[in-house]
């Protein structure tokens, strides 16, 4: 059983916001749409992958690649958060 409710969505939005703020501090005043999309994907992966079984993890990665084609995202580093 996986939790895809409002609590999980809130967590993803909070992590996304923190990553975007960190990017703005590191790289300037604005973040373009491509970078913002990559940061949101990082947040989704960070919040979701630890909860999935190995088989479901591969399905999840395939789903992310289908939804966001051509986007390569590196994992977030906890020390940076």
- Termini Cα distance of the chain: 28
Give residue 70's pLDDT.
82
Instruction: Retrieve residue 58's tokens.
Output: 């591969």
pLDDT band at 15 (very low <50, low <70, confident <90, very high): very high
Reported pTM: 0.76
Over the chain, what is the mean pLDDT? 84
54 HSE (CA, 13 A, CB side)? 0
């Amino acid at each position: 059983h996986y939790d895809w409710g409002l609590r999980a969505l809130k967590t993803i939005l909070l992590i996304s916001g923190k990553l975007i703020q960190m990017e703005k501090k590191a790289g300037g005043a604005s973040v373009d749409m491509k970078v913002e999309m990559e940061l949101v994907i990082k947040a989704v992966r960070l919040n979701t992958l630890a909860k999935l079984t190995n088989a479901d993890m591969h399905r999840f990665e395939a789903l992310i690649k289908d939804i966001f084609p051509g986007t390569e995202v590196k994992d977030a580093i906890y020390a940076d958060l």
